[in-house]
Structure 1
Amino acid sequence: MDTTQALRRWEEIFEGLVNAGVRVHRDSERIAADIPWSATVTGNRAGILYVEKMNPAGHDYRIFWQPVKSAHAMDITNLSVKALVRKIHST
């Protein structure tokens, strides 16, 4: 997914979480050089939602969700917002 598609999808996911009542806020600074956008989910289901550039030479971006209680991130690029909300509430 290129930069424009990644940003569009990122906004769709973020707004969907807000509309679903998930406590989430955008991070004001990059958490890493290859992660242009990130947000933090707070509360009992805390975690980080972020976009990662997969290929430094190209324009391949993926969107991930990583619960605080897990060492592994889940690729949610193609996951529906509804399914993501269920995942957040189940972690």
Structure 2
Amino acid sequence: MGGLPASTVNGLAVHPSNPKVIYAAMRDGVFRSEDAGQSWRRAAGPKNVAAVAVNPKRPSEVYAATVDGTIWARTNGGQRWEPRR
């Protein structure tokens, strides 16, 4: 799995209509694969991510929960993550 750091994967989320797109929650942040896990790149955003989820009705919305309890959202399909209160 090229591009993933050598640390624990805390959670995975799969795009609901494109199973080749996978997100991994890790201490180093959220990583994204577009080729079913063959290669990965960091998707910007927070570090110390405990869980990640994709909204099944709006797949451009990705959510990450950090170990301090903050929920982060990437709602425009881009690289910008914002904390949710």
The answer, yes or no, to whether TM exceeds 0.5 is no
Structure exhibiting the larger radius of gyration computed from Cα positions? 1
More helix by share: 1
Q: TM-score, normalised on structure 2?
A: 0.35
Q: TM-score, normalised on structure 1?
A: 0.34
